[in-house]
Amino acid sequence: MSLDYSHITHISYIILAISTAIYVGQGFYRNGEPLLYDVFKHHPHWVKPINNVLLTGFYLLNIGAIVMYVSDGTGVHTANAFIEFLAIKLGTVYVVLAMIHFGNIATLFYVKNNVNL
């Protein structure tokens, strides 16, 4: 009985978190392409590789953190604890990812304005 409940929480956590990760990743990938084309105006053949590398890094960080926290949730057996667990783990992952994302954008703008490519 308790085994079934913890299985459901693990599976729902993984599905929810990884689908948001993929959705956000695709959003960054598609919307970041024009910005990259602008920064690397004189090297348009750099854009697709850089975009792909950034996307891979994003997936690694996000999905890695999500899967890493699955092992942490073995003691979760009540709805209360499940919501708290989901909230804190997903919350930390998203805040850290947002900071890295804005750091990336700041780096791109710095490269655009101050570096001769």
Partner 1 sequence: MLTYKSYIMEEIINTSEIVQEAINVKAYLIYLPIALLLTVLVASILFKNSKIFMLDIFHGREEIALSTNRLFEIGFYLMNVGLALFILRMKDIFTHQEMVEHLSLKIGGFCVFLGIMVFLNLYMFFRGKRKSSQHVSQGNTVEL
Among 2, 71, 74, 113, interactor with partner 1 by CB under 8 A = 113
Among 9, 13, 17, 32, interactor with partner 1 by CB under 8 A = 32
CA angle 104–98–67, rounded 5-degree value:
110
Q: How far apart are CA 90 and CA 20, in angstroms?
A: 10
Shortest CB 30 distance to partner 1, Å: 8
The encoded tokens of residue 3 equal 């085994």
Among 24, 55, 61, 63, interactor with partner 1 by CB under 8 A = 24
Q: Which stretch binds partner 1 (CB under 8 A): 6-14, 23-31, 43-51, 65-73?
A: 23-31
Cβ 70 vs Cβ 13: under 8 Å: yes
Q: Is 57 in the site for partner 1 (CB under 8 A)?
A: no
Counting every residue written for the chain, the total comes to 117
- Residue identified by tokens 């004189």 is 42
Among 27, 44, 57, 64, interactor with partner 1 by CB under 8 A = 27
